[in-house]
Amino acid sequence: MAGATAVALAGLVAGCGARAAPDQPGAASVVRVVDGDTVEVVVAGQHETVRLLGIDTPETLAPGRPVECFGPEATAFLQELLPEGTAVELARDTEARDRFGRLLAYVTRADDQLFVNAAVAAGGYADVLVLAPNTARAGELVAAVADAKARGAGRWSACPAGP
C-alpha cells in the first residue's frame, strides 16, 4: 500500500512540475493584499500570488492605465478582511493558475469561514468575472453582485456607468 501511495504521489509531482504542492488547495497565511482581487500568501511553505476567482475589482496597479473608480476602496476593503497573517483556506476550481502564473482560488477566512470572494462582491467592490472552466461557485458570485447592484452598494452608486 505504501508503495502505491508513493508511486501515485511521484506521478502527481512529476505531472505538475516544481509547483505541484502550491497548486493544491489548502491552508495559507496572508502576506499582503496587492489590490482588491489579488493577495500574496504563504502556502505549502512557498510565497504565492493568489487571484480571487469569479470577481473583478477596479484596477489600481495596471501599467499605463489610470486608477479606476472605487479601486482604492476595493483594495482597502480586502485589506480589512485579510490583514497580514490572516489564516485562509484556498480552494481551486478547474484551472490552478492564470496566464500570469498566479494561483486561482476561492478564499475562505479560516477563523469564521467567511467566503472572501463573495464578501468583496456583496460589498459592491467587484463585478462578476466568471471564466470557464472555473465556474464552480459562479452562481453564488453572480447573486452577490446582483444584490450589491440592486442595493447601490459601493461602486454601483459611487461610480459613473461605464461603456
pLDDT in tens, 78-105: 999 999 999 999 999 999 999 999 999 9
pTM strictly above 0.75: yes
Active site residues: 51, 59, 102
Answer yes or no: is 31 within a domain. Answer: yes
- Do residues 123 and 88 make contact, with C-beta atoms less than 8 angstroms apart? no
Answer yes or no: is 10 within a domain. Answer: no
- Do residues 48 and 22 make contact, with C-beta atoms less than 8 angstroms apart? yes
3-class secondary structure per residue, 74-103:
HHHHHHHHCCCCCEEEEECCCCCECCCCCE
Q: For the residues 97-123, what does the mean pLDDT come to? A: 97
- Structural domain count, the chain: 1
Answer yes or no: is 60 within a domain. Answer: yes
Give the domain range for residue 57: 19-154
Instruction: Please tell me what DSSP assigns to residue 26.
Output: E
How confident is the model over 36-55, as pLDDT tens digits? 999 999 999 999 999 999 99
Answer yes or no: is 122 within a domain. Answer: yes
pLDDT-derived band at 25, boundaries 50, 70, 90: low
Give the CATH number of the domain where residue 38 resides: 2.40.50.90
Q: What does the pLDDT read at residue 19?
A: 43
CA-CA-CA-CA torsion sign (124, 126, 132, 137): negative
C-alpha cell at 145: 453582485
Q: For the residues 128-132, what does the mean pLDDT come to? A: 95
Answer yes or no: is 11 within a domain. Answer: no
Cβ-Cβ contacts under 8 Å for 16 (sequence gap 6 or more): 23
Answer yes or no: is 12 within a domain. Answer: no
Length of the chain: 163
Answer yes or no: is 95 within a domain. Answer: yes
DSSP characters over 92-151: --S-SB-TTS-EEEEEEETTT--BHHHHHHHTTS-EEE--TT--TTHHHHHHHHHHHHHH
